[in-house]
Structure 1
Amino acid sequence: MSALCCCCIQSSTDDETVPFSKSAPAPKQVKVLEKGKKLVVKNVNVKEYDDKFVEIAELYNNQVENYTAMKKCLFQLNEVNGTANLPGCMEKMKEKYSDYGIQAQLKGYNFSLVVKETENIPENLQESQELIKELSRATKVLIGSQTKLGGMVFSVSQIREEMVDRIKEVNVGYLDQIRLVENMEENVKNIDKAKLLSTEYEQEASEVLKEMADIAGATV
């Protein structure tokens, strides 16, 4: 019996003697933010920083919604008119609805499809007018909000080390510190990616605006 006990004791591993509270978990796999997907930020248990991350996420997610709306409008315009791109769509409408005095109009960052006043505007033409109105609204939001988002993300990146120190100061538990600092690092990586994607959204919106300006014979 004593030999058996001795054997059991010797089979214990060093890991079993390490207190749980001092065992650092393996690093988590960070899910990278994808284009067109909403940004979800994690809690770091410091209100000032949580508020910053939430504000950035809300602004970025609004961009995602408008980017999705912009792409949907472009797709539906081509579907309604049987075309492949915005210039082709406008040209097709001018040919098909030549009696309605169709014109593309640009004022600042706002553009619209102007149609001669009449009681019998074809349904497809009315739908195209509404789609271009929504397209204008979405592209304007994307162009106008990108700079603000970039500035917010930059301000957070400047206090990265400060955030780590503050999180550890507020949360004294070792495992809490590990988890919350990991949350902060994941948030920073994803908002950095959001900044890059935001630039892509703005570039695509600017291209739409440029195409409408060319169609309207204006400059932006």
Structure 2
Amino acid sequence: MLNKILVPQGPTFRISLLQDLCVNMISETWVFNKEGTLAMKLVNVRAVDALFSDIASAFNKQHEDHAAMTEAAQKLKGVSGCAPTASLTACIGTLQQEHGASKVQVRMEGYSFSLIVKENKVPDKLKQVQQQVGELSRSTKRLLARKTRLQEMICSMLQSQTQLEEKIRTTNPVYLDQVRLEGNLRENLQKIRLAKELSEQYDEAARSVLREMAQLAGLTLEAAPEIGTE
């Protein structure tokens, strides 16, 4: 009988891992500055600017995690000799065929996973695969842990647009300042809407990785609550 593990799931997993890892490039181009990070414009209300800064910081960390996760997955495929479009399941399956399924196994504990190699002397190729599986596990777990708080902060800001505009007008009585700063506010809100969409795509990609690794570990999958931040 297969063991069970609670794995967070999105509304659908009919798309492939490759599709999961792809994000809306138009949205990314609009959201990010030249340095590849989300940056907010000032609205000259200290508390509001601090909240926008917190959102940008949280999203940028998740963006970094997604990049690290994607890089680890591609390097894993590369050292395994798999095509870039191959699934993680296929790559690990190839290694198991080459070295024996009993000697190359995926182990999963909670939301962390690793590649176990039962050989007296681990070949260099498998050492590299183990390293990439480890990085894939860490970046996937970090990415999933960031989603809940980030989404909560973004939703709170989007639901408070009228109040935010009023705070700007109260704090900045000069009309031209109000026009400029309210324009900054609208731009910030549009950016975090797009950041929210990208964050959801990052989260979906991480869930797909987790599902594949759980299946490789011989675990059945059930819906579970979101992973909390550590």
Displacement of 1:158 in angstroms is 2.1
In terms of fraction of residues, the more strand-rich structure is: 2
Which segment drifts farther, 92-101 or 127-136? 92-101
* Max Rg structure: 1
**1:195 matched to 2:193:** no
Post-superposition Cα deviations, 1:101-158, rounded to whole Å, max 9, x if no partner, equal 111011111111012263x322221111011111011111222221211111111122
TM-score, length-normalised on structure 1?
Answer: 0.80
Gaps of 5+ in 2: 1-28, 222-230
Asked if 1 retains the 8 angstrom alpha-carbon contact of 2:103 and 2:119, the reply is no
Alpha-carbon distance in structure 2 between the residues aligned to 1:97 and 1:68: 30
The answer to whether structure 1 residue 112 and structure 2 residue 111 are counterparts is no
TM-score (norm 2): 0.76
Q: Partner amino acid for 1:161?
A: T
For 1:41 and 1:59, locate their aligned partners in 2 and report how far apart those are by CA, in whole Å. 13
Aligned to 2:53: 54
Shift of the 82–117 alpha-carbon distance from structure 1 to 2, 3 Å rule, reads closer
**Helix, strand or coil: the match of 2:220?**
coil
Contact 2:62/2:143 (8 A) holds in 1: yes
Alpha-carbon distance, 1:53 to partner: 0.4
With over 3 angstroms needed to count, the CA separation of the structure-2 counterparts of 1:189 and 1:155, relative to structure 1, is same
- Amino acid aligned to 2:67: T
CA distance in 1, matches of 2:98, 2:176: 68
Say whether residues 1:82 and 2:84 are aligned partners: no
RMSD, matched Cα: 1.7
Deviation of 1:195 (Å): 1.0
Whether 2:70 is the aligned partner of 1:71: answer yes
Residue aligned with 2:115, SS: strand
Match of 1:142 in 2: 143
> Post-superposition shift, 1:32?
2.8
C-alpha displacement of 1:78: 1.0
SS for the counterpart of 2:106 is strand
Which whole-Å CA distance do the structure 1 matches of 2:97 and 2:68 have between them? 27
What stretches of structure 1 of length at least 5 have no aligned partner? Answer: 1-30
Aligned to 1:22: none
State the partner residue of 1:11.
none
Output the amino acid matched with 2:31. Answer: L
User: In 1, distance between residues paired with 2:215 and 2:161?
Assistant: 44
For the residues of structure 1 that align with 2:175 and 2:164, how far apart are their CA atoms?
A: 16
